[in-house]
Amino acid sequence: MQPVDQEKAVQARPRPASVASVRNLRVYFQSKRGMVHAVDGVSFDIYDGETLGLVGETGCGKSVTGRSFLKLLPVPPGKIASGSIQFKPHATCRNCDGNGCPSCEGTGRQSAANSRGRSNEKGIRDSVDAEIVELLEIGREEMRRIRGDRIAMIFQDPGKALNPTLPISEQLSEVFLLHRTSELLEAAGLPASTGGALRRFASQEQRFGDSLLMALPPNRAFRNRLVGALNKMVIEALGDTQVPNPAKLMARYPHELSGGMKQRVMIAQALACNPDILIADEPTTALDVTVEARILELIKELQKKRRTSVLYISHDLSLVRRICDRVAVMYAGKVVEIGSTDAIFRDPRHPYTRGLISAVPSAGARRGELAAIRGTVPELVDPAPTCRFAGRCPFEADSCRRFEPELKPVSNGHAVACFIDSAAPSGRQPTFQSAAV
Amino acid sequence: MSAASQLNSDRSPPGCLDSLLSVRNVRKYFPIREGALQRIVGHVRAVDGVSFDIRRGETVGLVGESGCGKTTLARCVSGLTDITGGGIYFDLPHKQAILLGQLSSPNAEGGPLPGHKQELERIDTAHRIDRLEGEAGRRFRRNCQMVFQDSFASLNPRHLVFDLVSRPLRVYREATGSELTERVVELLEQVGLGRQHLYRYPHQFSGGQRQRISIARALALNPEIIVLDEPTSALDVSVQAQILNLLNELQSQRNLAFLFVTHDLSVIHHMADRVVVMYLGKVSETGDTGELFKAPHHPYTRALMEAKPDLEDESSKYEFKGLEGTVPDPARPPRGCRFHTRCEFATESCGWEIDDIVRCLEYDPAAFETLSGVERRSDFDAVLTFDDAKSANRLAEMLRSGAVPKALQDSLSKLELRDRHVSVAFEEVDEVPLTSRGPGRAAACVLDPSVIASGRNG
Q: Work out the minimum CA distance from A108 to partner chain B, whole angstroms.
A: 30
Q: Which one of A260, A294, A315 has the shortest CB-CB distance to B236?
A: A315
CA distance A45 to A16: 10
pLDDT digits (tens, 9 = 90+) for A278-335: 999 888 877 778 888 888 888 888 888 888 899 999 888 888 888 889 999 999 888 9
Helix (H) or strand (E) holding B57: none
The pLDDT score that the predictor gives to residue B7 is 36
Min CA distance, B262 vs chain A (Å)? 11
* Partner residue opposite B365 with nearest CB, options A247, A290, A315: A247
Q: Which residues pair with B401 in a beta bridge?
A: none
From the CA of B264, how many Å to the nearest CA of chain A? 8
Indicate the residue of A244, A292, A359 with minimum beta-carbon distance to B238.
A359
B207 at A interface, C-beta within 8 A: yes
Q: Do B252 and A368 touch (CB under 8 A)?
A: yes
Say whether residue B241 is in contact with chain A using an 8 A CB cutoff: yes
Nearest CB partner across the interface for A288, out of B66, B236, B311: B66
Contact B241 A58 (CB under 8 A): no
Look at residue B74 and give its three-state secondary structure.
helix
User: What pLDDT, in 10s, does the model give residues B157-209?
Assistant: 999 999 999 999 999 988 888 999 999 999 998 888 888 889 999 998 888 88
Calculate how close chain B gets to A116, using CA atoms only, in Å: 40
In total, the C-beta contacts within 8 angstroms joining chain A to chain B are 130
pLDDT at position A111, please?
57
pLDDT top residue among A29 and B406: A29
pLDDT band, very low/low/confident/very high, at B74 (cuts 50, 70, 90):
very high
Cβ <8 Å between A361 and B66: no
Contacts of A57 in chain B (CB under 8 A): 236-239
B308 vs A: CB within 8 A: yes
Hey, are the CB atoms on A317 and B245 less than 8 Å from each other? no
Query: Which chain A residues contact residue B272 at CB under 8 A?
Result: none
Lowest mean pLDDT, pick from A82-96, B101-115, B189-203, B214-228: B101-115
A interface toward B at CB cutoff 8 Å?
57-58, 244-248, 258, 260-261, 288-297, 315-318, 321-322, 355-357, 359-365, 367-373, 376
Which chain A residues have a beta carbon less than 8 Å from that of B271? 361, 367
Per-residue pLDDT at B1 exceeds 80? no
CB-CB contact of B209 with B151 (8 Å): no
How near does any CA of chain B get to the CA of A265, in Å? 15
The reported pLDDT for the residue numbered A427 is 64
Indicate which of B149, B237, B327, B360 best probes the interface with A, i.e. most A CBs within 10 Å of its own CB: B237
Task: Answer yes or no: is pLDDT of B456 > 70.
Answer: no
pLDDT by residue for chain A (437 residues), tens only, comes to: 344 444 444 344 445 678 888 988 999 988 888 888 888 889 998 988 889 999 988 888 888 898 888 888 888 888 888 888 888 887 766 565 555 556 555 555 665 544 433 434 344 444 344 578 888 888 888 888 888 888 899 988 888 888 999 999 888 888 888 888 888 888 877 777 777 777 787 777 777 877 788 777 878 888 888 888 888 888 888 888 777 778 888 888 988 888 888 888 888 888 888 888 899 988 887 777 888 888 888 888 888 888 889 999 988 888 888 888 999 999 988 899 999 988 888 888 888 998 888 888 876 677 777 777 877 777 788 888 888 888 888 887 777 888 888 888 888 888 888 887 777 666 667 777 655 44
Residue B312 contacts A where some CB pair is shorter than 8 Å: yes
Q: What is the pLDDT of residue A12?
A: 42
> What integer best gives the mean pLDDT of chain B?
83
Q: Which of A360, A366, A374 to mutate to test the interface with B (most CBs of B within 10 A)?
A: A360
Determine, for residues A372 and B303 on separate chains, whether the beta-carbon distance falls below 8 Å: no
Mean pLDDT of B271-284: 92
Contacts of A367 in chain B (CB under 8 A): 248, 270-271
Using CB atoms, pick whichever of B269, B311, B365 lies closest to residue A318: B311
Tell me the nearest-neighbour CA distance from B360 into chain A, angstroms.
10
pLDDT of residue B105: 65
Answer whether A372 sits within 8 Å of B242, measured CB to CB.
yes
Kindly give, in sequence order, each residue whose CB lies less than 8 Å from that of residue B409, ignoring residues fewer than 6 positions away: B399, B400
Question: What pLDDT score was predicted for residue B404?
Answer: 78
Chain B residues touching A248 at Cβ < 8 A: 365, 368
What does the pLDDT read at residue A1?
39
Mutate to test the interface with A, among B205, B249, B311, B316 (most CBs of A within 10 A): B311
Complex-level ipTM: 0.77
Give residues with Cβ within 8 angstroms of B341, minimum separation 6. B325, B328, B334, B356, B359
pLDDT of residue B180: 94
CB atoms B266 and A360 under 8 Å: yes
Which of A118-127, A332-341, B57-66, B103-112 bottoms out in mean pLDDT, i.e. has the lowest?
A: A118-127
CB contact, 8 Å: B311 with chain A?
yes
pLDDT in tens, B323-379: 777 778 888 888 888 888 888 888 888 888 888 888 777 777 677 778 888 888 888
Does residue B2 carry a pLDDT above 70?
no
Secondary structure string (H, E, C) spanning chain A: CCCCCHHHHHHHCCCCCEEEEEEEEEEEEEECCEEEEEEEEEEEEEECCCEEEEECCCCCCHHHHHHHCCCCCCCCCEEEEEEEEEECCCEECCCCCCCCCHHHCCCCEECHHHCCCCCCCCCEECCCCCEEEECCCCCHHHHHHHECCCEEEECCCHHHHCCCCCCHHHHHHHHHHHHCHHHHHHHCCCCCCCCHHHHHHHCCCCCCCHHHHHHCCCHHHHHHHHHHHHHHHHHHHHHHCCCCCHHHHCCCCHHHCCHHHHHHHHHHHHHCCCCCEEEEECCCCCCCHHHHHHHHHHHHHHHHHHCCEEEEEECCHHHHHHHCCEEEEEECCEEEEEEEHHHHHHCCCCHHHHHHHHHCCCCCCCCCCCCCCCCCCCCCECCCCCCCCCCCCCCCCHHHHCCCCCCEEEECCEEECCCCCCCCCCCCCCCCCCCCC
* Phi, psi (deg, nearest 5) at residue B429: -125, 135
Is B8 a residue whose pLDDT tops 80? no
Q: CA-nearest residue of chain A to B205?
A: A376
Q: Which residues of A touch B326 (CB under 8 A)?
A: 258, 260-261, 291
Distance CA B345, CA B456 (A): 7
Choose among B65, B311, B362: nearest Cβ to A317.
B311
How much of chain B exceeds pLDDT 70, in percent?
90
Distance from CA of A88 to the nearest CA of B (A): 33
pLDDT of B41 strictly over 60: yes
